[in-house]
Amino acid sequence: MDNRLREYARTLRMSDIADLYEEVEFENRLQYLTDLFALAIEGRKNRRAERLIKKAGFPNTDTLRGYDFSPVTFPNDVDRQSLTDLQFIEQRENILMVGAVGTGKTRLAISLGVKACLSGRTVKFHRAADLCNALLELYSAGKAGKLIRDIADADLFILDEVGYVPFSKAAAEMLFSVISNSYENQSIITTSNLEFGRWSEIFGDERLTAALIDRLVHHAHILTFAGPSYRLRQALARTDHDEDAILEDVTLTEK
């Protein structure tokens, strides 16, 4: 390759052009340049999405492909289409996903988060218990600022698994300050196995719980998840048991 191309491309901040110029078929000058730019833009978008996904801190990179929406009941003002089109992020609205363990809340939250990254938005994913531990630890070392800012700066904040572990008062207060920061500046997806009527059990303090509910619930679209656990279903599918009979048994004993 003529070294000047690399040099000129770098000067124009288009170094990728020097790597891609042979990958495009030449038919005429206009078509060649247009296709080359299109390829460079696509490459940049993909690299940005990869960076955003990495920064988001997802535990995996689930996608909406193959997701079964049958456990999900939608509220009146949101349907499957508007949810997966990420309109709630555009409107800076919150989503609350409530339902039994294993019904696909985390998977749906991650899939929406990954899609948001693919469309160039910033996302932060945290399991509630891990976030509280991290906040407490960093706070006592006077270093919580970056974590709090990173969350506040994201277009979408996913707070997973509220309700599995009760929080200490200090942890609940830190979580509250993170959430108040983000109020109306970003979207939050919260997932929980507990209806919010029982959230005071995890946050302890009634007033704090009321304030948290005000932030997370009152302005949120609430999706409820029902049915038997997918984990259980998958485990059973690997054996020869009569799946329906066992699921019925489990559902009865859970009550």
Site for ligand ADP, rule CB under 6 A: 67-68, 71, 101-107, 191, 225, 230-231
Based on the shown chain and the rule CB under 5 A, indicate whether residue 193 belongs to the binding site for Mg ion: no
- 58 contacts which partner out of ligand ADP, Mg ion, none, CB within 5 to 8 A by kind? none
Q: Taking a C-beta distance cutoff of 8 angstroms, is the pair 245, 99 a contact?
A: no
Sheet holding 72-73, edge to edge: 72-73, 220-225, 94-99, 187-192, 156-162, 123-127
137 vs 171: CA distance, rounded Å: 10
Q: Taking a C-beta distance cutoff of 8 angstroms, is the pair 97, 108 a contact?
A: yes
- 190 contacts which partner out of Mg ion, ligand ADP, none, CB within 5 to 8 A by kind? none
46 vs 44: CA distance, rounded Å: 5
Q: Which stretch binds Mg ion (CB under 5 A): 6-14, 73-81, 102-110, 147-155?
A: 102-110
Find the binder of Mg ion among 103, 106, 190, 229 (CB under 5 A).
106
Based on the shown chain and the rule CB under 5 A, indicate whether residue 182 belongs to the binding site for Mg ion: no
Of 21 and 164, which CB lies nearer to ligand ADP in the complex structure? Answer: 164
Q: Taking a C-beta distance cutoff of 8 angstroms, is the pair 192, 223 a contact?
A: no
Q: Taking a C-beta distance cutoff of 8 angstroms, is the pair 82, 235 a contact?
A: no
- 104 contacts which partner out of ligand ADP, Mg ion, none, CB within 5 to 8 A by kind? ligand ADP
Closest approach, Cβ 83 to ligand ADP, in A, equals 13
Q: Which residues bind Mg ion (CB under 5 A)?
A: 106
